[in-house]
Chain A
Amino acid sequence: MAIPPSESSSSVLRLTFLAVMVITLFVALFARLWFLQVMAGDRYVELADSNRLRTVITEAPRGEILTSDGEALVRNRPALAISADRQALLDAAGAPVDEEAERVIERLAVLLELEVDEVLERLASQRRSPFRPVPIAVDVTPEVAFAVQERRELFPAVVSETLPVREYPHGTLAAHLIGYIGEISQQELLRPEFADYRAGDLVGRSGLEQSYEADLRGVTGQRRLVVNARGDVLDVQSDREPVQGADLVTSLDLDLQLATEQLLEDGILASREIRRDDGQLLPSTAGSAIVLDARTGAILAMTSYPTYDPREFVGGVTQEYFDLLADPENERPLVNRAISGLYPPGSVFKTASGAAWVEAGVVTPRSTVECAPAFELGGNTFRNWNRGVNEGMMDLSDALTRSCDTYFYELAFDQWLREENADEPDEVLIRVAERFGFGVTTGIDLPGEASGRVPGRQWRFDYWVANRDNYCRQADLASPGSYASELYSDLCQFGAAWRGGDAVNSSIGQGDVLSTPLQVAASYQAIANDGGLLRPHLGARIVAPDGTVLREIEPEVVGELGVSDQTLQVMQEGLERVVMTDRGTGSSAFRGFPLDEIPVAGKTGTAELRPKVPYAWFAGYAPIDDPEIVVVVNVEQGGGGSQTAAPIVRNIMAHYFGIVLAEDAEFEAGEEILD
């Protein structure tokens, strides 16, 4: 059956049409393949790699923190933990993905003796990295870990693993100094210094854990796993072993730290039995103690009372414990009062102010000023602590020994007058106090150090500007003619003025002067050390896990007192007599201390913070001829410095010099001198 020519050509035409269509479709395929494979191939290679490669981070064991003789204050211990894969169990909203996941979570709650909600909350915690199992319970018993391992079918996506956790062999010892670690926050992750951190990483949260974070942390290990579509690990492609963090050897003396903590606590507790002259018991709510190496500025012991238990922070602190610590009723145990507590320094500031008046030229070290019972200024009476007694003419040395307030009032007022009459007042006290370490941070290697304050005209003005509206409002609210009305109207109108009374108050470390116990310690260390102000430090050296010393932390001179030799000698003499002579305000506390063998110098201080009971201060150093240690104790609402603080310093020194060890020591209150 032949096809007629016309039909034949027609079918060829139709087949040609089909051929064109076929070719078009094939060209489309070739074009798309060329685009995907040749033009965009690189991008798809990356996608293929990110598909099959999973990066798994292995924590580096954190470095230890050791005492000067190598005793661990904090180290790592392996803890059994039960962790679960969040992505396998929870959806994006934090709810179980399916019924099976729900059952797994319920079983987990039963096994770990937790509420289901608690398990969900821990699992969903956004602080945890989604790329590794989220620890649900740390420090579980081996039986619990075994249950999870053996019954894999009941606990899919749940693993038992061993995590390194912080261990504190000495419990609460030096808790404020060591600090604690916690998971890095979302905000911190955004900061440049945490660029190589990931969500869920632990980071030093306070104390040395924070300030030596870079040394202690180490380098996290990294493994790149080849996984298939189901997530099974088929191969380990590259492996970077975790590098253990370096150890921090501190200057802390374990024995002295133990003794200092015990003696401070014993002293505070014992002082609460003391009845004041007005018949009330001393509250002695809190306190701190510092022992510095007088030659290097190294901290041998430092403690703050009350303290907290860093063990509660292992594996995440409970809200209950954290609330306990944050409650003001409990005196805020997390605060390291030695560096963060701000108090008026009271009479321990008289060294700085005495040096200032000499430098100002209103007095020479040996010229005398009358130690009158009171100093009158513009209708206000500024009394000496020794009420009603005229102690006669005194030079700087005597004024320190007797802690004579009126000596300093008189000179402060003279200087204030000069400054008022000058075109550009040279505020000597601020200048000199700063050289003595007041009003500026010492630079200790601990986070959270307060800088304190030595007020002057600028500060007063700024303060007035900030508070003027409040003063004026209070003046309007007060009933006309009342004391409050007068006070606030005065402040409202003239509060910007730095008055004679302000200068007088500042001269004895009262009024608006604020300092930390550490500043006082650094200041007295400079006096003991004949003028060089050193940076106090806890870190001694950084040691690699293999024992090589990576870095020595050397003593660092950060300033000079900048006073003449004579001034320094007169001050030192005055401080010696505080303890060594019966006239001295601190002598009562050192009764029975072998001062002939170990001569001690020091200064009492009693800071008024009305309506509270005064804060007790004592700053001392020993032995006088070649000072080894500087000891500073502050007791909040502990009454007179001579009464509460000085006896604690005495006991710490007695322990240090091996006279009476801490365990045998008794707290014996000194005479109540409210200087």
Chain B
Amino acid sequence: MDVGYRQDPDQRRAREHVQSRWMEAYEPVRHLDPVLVLTALALTVIGLVAIYSAKLVALTSQSLPPSLYVSRQLLALGIGVVVMVVVAVVDYRHVRIYAPAVYLVSVLLLGVVLSPAGTAFGGAQRWIVLGGFQLQPSELAKLAVLITVAAILHEADRRPGPGVGLGALIVTLIPTALVFLQPDFGTSIVFVWTTAVLFLLGGVQARYLAGLAIAGAVAVIAALQTEVIQAYQVSRLTAFLNAGDASAAQTAAFQTRQSLIAVGSGQFAGKGLFEGTQTSLSYVPENHTDFIFTVIAEEFGFLGSSVVLGLLLVLVWRGLRIAILAKDSFGMLVAGGIVAILTLQVFVNVGMTIGIMPVTGLPLPFISYGGTSLIVWFAMIGLLLNIHMRRF
């Protein structure tokens, strides 16, 4: 009696069960990366504590609620998580198609920032105020440049010729120029860096890369020499070189000097939460945004600093892993690009607080106060999850 398994209900049930188990195993939702998400959330929580500590005394002395900045950042976190889920759900390959649109919107917003509709603060025009919220389009533009250049390189089918490279370069330089005019030197560097790393990962030949590096160096020197960079930026950029000079108080070197004191005086174990004198007495300027790392370093010492850098390294590790496992070159490029942006911002931001990098206005990912930055970083986490889920 030859009875096929289709006829045998038991066999059929068993087989279908195995098959469905097998299919389920490939369900994207079953391939979330919990380590990635939890690490990002942990960093954000550490950031909230640091922001609270940084602003506690200053806000209390002005009779303002000490949680003012934290509650705003929490709202951004909520939006960020939603954005992360949305970005993760839509197949990232569709993102490739939407990339030009995202790019155009970003460039448009950057143009609006520079128009009278933009808001200036501290000598730089970086924000658009929308219904009580400050939007920083340059953060969004980071994402836009990343996916657009990745898409261009992907379309070139991994053999990018000079034409493709030139196109990608133009795509990069437009927002770079707009951000540079704000002026936001740090973010414009991020754009150039992103494209450079994508060229490296995308298989652009070494000689082109070397040519681009030389051209970039010449451009930077030319910018410094021809006073395209405003004087205050030059002094900020070079101040870290003479941070040890005590007489330079209240000058550009003051920030770096106070920052070094905050970090150094944290010693191995830190002074304890809310015990940092440099932090609570406002010696370090901007210590809830660009100089947030000084709060962690002062109050939690080398241990706390290491935990934060360690968690950031975990993100780098997960990102690289996702890049390696990516199904297509677009996924690999986007994941690799996110790792590159993360690394650059961490190195420039932390490096600036410890006196090995110039003072540029780059936030520390997930930690620094700033809603747009946090939302965009959760969007990037969403992208990583997306690429990871759809790696089969």
Q: Return B56 CB to nearest CB of chain A, in Å.
A: 13
Neighbour of A30 across the interface among B260, B306, B324, B327, CB < 8 A? B306
Could you say which of A7-15, A284-292, A318-326, A422-430 contacts chain B?
A7-15
B283 neighbours in A (Cβ, 8 Å)? 48, 51-52, 228-229
Question: B200 and A14: CB pair below 8 A?
Answer: yes
Q: Return A33 CB to nearest CB of chain B, in Å.
A: 5
Question: A30 and B309: CB pair below 8 A?
Answer: yes
A227 neighbours in B (Cβ, 8 Å)? 281
The interface centre, meaning the residue of B320, B340, B343, B355 with most chain A CB atoms within 10 A of its CB, is B343
CA–CA, A413 and B77, complex, Å: 114
Given known A-B contacts A37-B268, A37-B297, A229 and B281 have beta carbons under 8 A apart: yes
Could you say which of B134-142, B179-187, B328-336 contacts chain A?
B328-336
B320 neighbours in A (Cβ, 8 Å)? 15, 18-19, 22
A36 sits at the interface (CB 8 A): yes
Question: A33 and B306: CB pair below 8 A?
Answer: yes
Neighbour of A28 across the interface among B197, B260, B301, B356, CB < 8 A? B356
B268 neighbours in A (Cβ, 8 Å)? 37-38, 41
Q: Return A123 CB to nearest CB of chain B, in Å.
A: 21
Question: B339 and A37: CB pair below 8 A?
Answer: no
B282 neighbours in A (Cβ, 8 Å)? 228-230
Given known A-B contacts A48-B262, A51-B278, A51-B283, A18 and B306 have beta carbons under 8 A apart: no
Chain B 148-164 interface residues, beta-carbon cutoff 8 Å to A: 158
A29 sits at the interface (CB 8 A): yes
Q: Return B194 CB to nearest CB of chain A, in Å.
A: 12
How many residues in A have their beta carbons less than 8 Å from beta carbons of B? 41
A25 sits at the interface (CB 8 A): yes
CA–CA, A229 and B58, complex, Å: 11
Interface of B is mostly: helix
CA–CA, A284 and B264, complex, Å: 75
Q: Return B133 CB to nearest CB of chain A, in Å.
A: 29
Question: B343 and A22: CB pair below 8 A?
Answer: yes
A226 sits at the interface (CB 8 A): yes
Question: B297 and A33: CB pair below 8 A?
Answer: yes
Could you say which of B19-27, B81-89, B346-354 contacts chain A?
B346-354
Interface string of B259-270 (1 = CB under 8 A from A): 011111111100
Chain A 516-540 interface residues, beta-carbon cutoff 8 Å to B: none
A40 sits at the interface (CB 8 A): yes
The interface centre, meaning the residue of A11, A32, A234 with most chain B CB atoms within 10 A of its CB, is A11
Given known A-B contacts A25-B343, A52-B277, A41 and B200 have beta carbons under 8 A apart: no
Q: Return B281 CB to nearest CB of chain A, in Å.
A: 4
B302 neighbours in A (Cβ, 8 Å)? 33-34, 37-38
Given known A-B contacts A29-B350, A32-B356, A36-B260, A15 and B343 have beta carbons under 8 A apart: no
Q: Return A31 CB to nearest CB of chain B, in Å.
A: 10
A26 neighbours in B (Cβ, 8 Å)? 309, 312-313, 316, 343, 346-347
Interface string of B263-296 (1 = CB under 8 A from A): 1111110000000011001110100000000000
CA–CA, A44 and B243, complex, Å: 13
CA–CA, A226 and B267, complex, Å: 21
**Interface CB pairs A-B, < 8 A, 22:** A7-B158, A14-B200, A15-B201, A15-B336, A25-B347, A26-B312, A26-B347, A33-B263, A33-B306, A36-B260, A37-B268, A41-B264, A41-B266, A48-B277, A48-B278, A48-B283, A51-B258, A51-B277, A52-B278, A226-B277, A229-B283, A229-B285
